[in-house]
């Protein structure tokens, strides 16, 4: 019999913006965004919950965010500060389990299956971690607990900010079924519209649709999507190994042909990589750009500098 797994997904709430509000209390309760300037053709890296009420979200061009909320407070990215706090949070995770898969500076999966005999139930571990993050950093996190990564991620998203949700084998379908099909990993805007056009709007409707019909929409991906709709995800938590490179990447839910939009995203990625290099007191000599098309064709271009660098402007040029 397969051992019951206990997976936590911990997601910091509006991390970059929350750090800025914490470091400058006068910003609390005000709409704040972190990102590049309009002159840089910048994008929003993070938006406080106050600014989200105006429709602002991450990856949105800064110019658009300012139109939606002219009074929004725009702050530059301080990647070194965010990385510093992220390290502190990861140390808390490591106090409970070595099975930590860091997805980004502000979120991670933890497998605490082997930790229960030492620290108590998964719920107890999750609440302790959540409390420690708030007490030791001043920031809030949303925690999802479930038997697998997909459900844990789903759980952490359900009651943000400052949420705590447990999904079990017994209640998973009750929670999943009413949700929009777009909540499933791999279902982007284009695929979701294809579902809507065929009268499939909820996960329950998708789950009850014959596989052969779904294959006409999803192709070879149909089997995986059906498993997720049933709350099944066997992927392990994969602890991060020591990095020989520092990277940033983004997969879009739909194909993007807007050059300026792509440049905005690339600028954000350059800032992130350069910030992490400086935080680690490292420099890089070779920079690589990877572009993948919808047919999975991948184009890679590399450039080697004469001298190692961690300067954002040098990497951007």
107 given a catalytic annotation: yes
Do 151 and 27 share a structural domain? yes
CB atoms within 10 A of CB 45: 24
Do 24 and 145 share a structural domain? yes
The pLDDT of residue 100 is above 80: yes
Do 190 and 75 share a structural domain? no
253 in any annotated domain: no
Domain, as residue range, for 310:
259-316
Q: Between 251 and 9, whose confidence is greater? A: 9
Do 140 and 275 share a structural domain? no
Do 117 and 11 share a structural domain? yes
Do 83 and 39 share a structural domain? yes
| pLDDT at residue 275, as a whole number | 84
The pLDDT of residue 252 is above 70: no
The pLDDT of residue 79 is above 70: yes
CB environment 241-250: b (16+ within 10 A), e (fewer) = eeeeebebee
235 in any annotated domain: no
Do 139 and 1 share a structural domain? yes
| pLDDT at residue 298, as a whole number | 75
123 Cβ partners below 8 Å, 6+ apart? 145, 166
22 Cβ partners below 8 Å, 6+ apart? 138, 139
Do 146 and 223 share a structural domain? no
Cα 90 from chain centre: 15
CB environment 174-185: b (16+ within 10 A), e (fewer) = ebbbebebbbbe
Report helix angle 79-94 to 259-279, nearest 10: 60
274 in any annotated domain: yes
The pLDDT of residue 228 is above 80: yes
Do 276 and 135 share a structural domain? no
Structural domain count, the chain: 3
Catalytic residue among 20, 107, 271, 272: 107
Do 128 and 44 share a structural domain? yes
239 in any annotated domain: no
CATH number at residue 15: 3.30.70.270
297 in any annotated domain: yes
Across 87-96, 145-154, 170-179, 294-303, least confident range: 294-303
Across the range 12-16, mean pLDDT stands at 95
CATH number at residue 214: 1.10.150.20
| pLDDT at residue 251, as a whole number | 62
Across the range 301-314, mean pLDDT stands at 84
The pLDDT of residue 253 is above 70: no
Q: For 271-296, what is each residue's pLDDT tens digit?
A: 888 888 887 778 888 898 888 776 65
Across the range 97-122, mean pLDDT stands at 94
143 in any annotated domain: yes
Do 27 and 119 share a structural domain? yes
Do 78 and 126 share a structural domain? yes
pTM of the predicted structure, to 2 decimals? 0.76
């Amino acid at each position: 019999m397969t051992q019951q797994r206990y997976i936590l997904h911990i997601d910091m709430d509006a991390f970059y913006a929350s750090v800025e509000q914490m470091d400058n209390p006068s910003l609390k309760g005000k709409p704040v965004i972190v990102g590049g300037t309009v002159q840089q053709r910048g994008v929003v890296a993070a938006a406080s919950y106050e600014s989200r009420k105006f429709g602002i979200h991450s990856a949105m061009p800064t110019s658009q965010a300012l139109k939606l909320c002219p009074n929004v407070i725009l702050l530059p990215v301080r990647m070194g500060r965010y990385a510093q706090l992220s390290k502190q949070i990861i140390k808390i995770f490591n106090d409970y389990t070595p099975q930590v898969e860091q997805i980004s500076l502000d979120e991670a999966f933890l497998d605490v299956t082997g930790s229960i005999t030492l620290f108590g139930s998964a719920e107890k571990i999750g609440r302790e971690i959540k409390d420690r993050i708030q007490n030791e950093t001043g920031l809030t996190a949303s925690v999802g607990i479930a038997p697998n990564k997909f459900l844990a991620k789903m759980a952490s998203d359900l009651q943000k900010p400052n949420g705590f949700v447990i999904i079990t084998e017994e209640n998973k379908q009750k929670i999943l079924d009413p949700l929009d099909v777009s909540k499933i990993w791999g279902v982007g805007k284009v695929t979701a519209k294809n579902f809507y056009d065929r009268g499939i709007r909820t996960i329950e409707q998708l789950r009850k649709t014959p596989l052969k019909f779904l294959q006409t929409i999803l192709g070879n991906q149909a089997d995986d999507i059906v498993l997720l709709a049933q709350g099944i995800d066997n992927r392990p938590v994969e602890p991060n190994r020591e990095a020989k490179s520092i990277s940033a990447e983004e997969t879009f839910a739909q194909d993007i042909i807007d050059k300026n939009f792509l440049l905005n995203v690339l600028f954000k990625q350059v800032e992130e990589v350069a910030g992490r290099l400086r935080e680690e007191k490292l420099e890089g000599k070779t920079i690589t750009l990877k572009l993948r098309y919808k047919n999975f064709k991948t184009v890679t271009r590399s450039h080697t500098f004469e001298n190692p660098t961690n300067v954002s402007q040098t990497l951007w040029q």
